[in-house]
Structure formats: structure tokens, C-alpha cells
A and B are shown apart, each in its own frame.
Chain A
């Protein structure tokens, strides 16, 4: 897996968009960008993934730069329940050893 770099913590006001950055400057052409989150001490939860194009699902949007060296996870209307640690992972599609780093601790404040 390519190394990813994320800020250790971020705050966001409830109802506003949360934009979580991730740097993956050494990503290879066939590595996907995955995002998971971990709420309190629960098991991680898959959010979204992408290769080149921007992706959107019911939880979030993923914006990947054209050179693929960085990406941003967007939670469009953050709620208090979105407070969690967010992990950005660059990994091959069929890789069984996804490396979860320290992630970004997002705190959504009222």
C-alpha cells in the first residue's frame, strides 16, 4: 500500500460540510483510495472508495485530484453522530492487507 498522510484531528460545526484531506503522493496507478471510519470503539465502517473519478454515495463524496496524489472526503452536512476517526487507505483492489494508519479524529460540534 502507498503511504497516506492525514491531519491528526479536525473540528467541524454541526450542519456544515466536513472536508477531510488525505495525501497519497506515492500512490500507484492501480491503487484505490478507500475511506473507513471508526465511531468510538466500534469496528471500522466502510464509507467510500475510488480510483480516478470523483465518487458519491449516500454517506459522502470523494474528490480525487487529477494527479491522484491527494484526495478529500466530504461529509456534506455533518452531524454529531459523524464524530469519529476517519481512515484514508491507498490499496490495490484485491489486497488482503489494508493498512489502517492513525487516521483523522473528526469532532463535530453543536
Chain B
């Protein structure tokens, strides 16, 4: 199993540009998450999904959109990039509540985004 994969690893955007951060997992997890981590800070939840076709906002959703058309993929879309979105973005997945793996969120390696 590759676990949770994210692409790209690094990206520089100009203000106003758009991009999609890709996230995929091969563990058949129903739950998937997007976090951002600013320098020296903890992680903040942007969006999450409890299954294909179902998404919900987290703590900091403004400026982002998500979709979940398959169990495996959970892309994060930035429509009009702003300098405040400069951050490291982590995708994670977990099993459904009530199963033994719900205790654990598995994280991807992250995407480092700079908006200039």
C-alpha cells in the first residue's frame, strides 16, 4: 500500500492563480481530510469528507473548495490564490467511526505552497 499520496510536493503560485492539490489513498478509507499548517503552528482543518459525494467544512474553509467523487480521491481546489494561503497542506484519511482504525488518521507527506 502506498498509503496517502499527495501531488505536487512543492508549488509557487502568483496571486489570483488557481490550482488543485491532489490527494489519493489506497486503504479504502471512507474519511478524508485536508489540513493546512502555517509556520510554527499546529494543523487547522479546512474540509473533510465522510464518503464519496459528502463533504463538510472544517475550521478554515474560506478560499477553498473540495469534491469527493470516488473513495480514493479528495482534491482541494484554490480558486484565487492569496498570499495568506501560503502554507503546507496535508491530506489525511481514516476508517469510519466504530471500526478499529478510526483512532488513527494517516497523513500524506504534504504539499508546500507559496503564493507570491
**Interface locus among A16-24, A63-71, A74-82, A94-102:** A94-102
Chain A 85-103 residues near chain B, CB threshold 8 A: 87, 93-94, 96-103
- Let me know if B40 and A102 touch, CB within 8 A: yes
Complex Cα–Cα for A89 and B90 (A): 18
Closest to B57 in A: A97
Contacts of B33 in A (CB 8 A): 96
Contacts of B40 in A (CB 8 A): 102
CB-CB under 8 A for A41 and B88, given A97-B59, A102-B42: yes
- Let me know if A96 and B31 touch, CB within 8 A: yes
- The proximity string for B residues 46-85 relative to A, scoring 1 for CB distances below 8 Å and 0 otherwise, is 0010100000101100000000000000000000000000
- Interface residues of chain A, those whose CB is within 8 Å of chain B, are 32, 34, 36, 41-46, 49, 87, 93-94, 96-103
- Let me know if B97 and A43 touch, CB within 8 A: no
- Let me know if A103 and B58 touch, CB within 8 A: no
Contacts of B107 in A (CB 8 A): 42-45
Closest to B59 in A: A97
CB-CB under 8 A for A97 and B108, given A34-B103, A43-B92, A49-B103: no
Count contacts on B: residues with CB < 8 A to the other chain. Answer: 30
- Let me know if B109 and A43 touch, CB within 8 A: yes
From the candidates A45, A97, A102, name the one contacting B41 in the complex (CB within 8 A).
A102
A89 to chain B, nearest CB (A): 9
- Let me know if B42 and A103 touch, CB within 8 A: yes
From the candidates A44, A87, A93, A103, name the one contacting B102 in the complex (CB within 8 A).
A93
From the candidates B58, B88, B102, B105, name the one contacting A94 in the complex (CB within 8 A).
B102
Complex Cα–Cα for A107 and B110 (A): 23
Task: With a 10 A CB-CB cut-off, give which of A43, A93, A96, A101 has the most chain B CB atoms.
Answer: A43
Complex Cα–Cα for A93 and B31 (A): 14
From the candidates A32, A43, A46, A93, name the one contacting B104 in the complex (CB within 8 A).
A46
- Let me know if B43 and A93 touch, CB within 8 A: no
Decide if B4 is an interface residue (CB 8 Å cutoff): yes
Decide if B113 is an interface residue (CB 8 Å cutoff): no
Decide if B27 is an interface residue (CB 8 Å cutoff): no
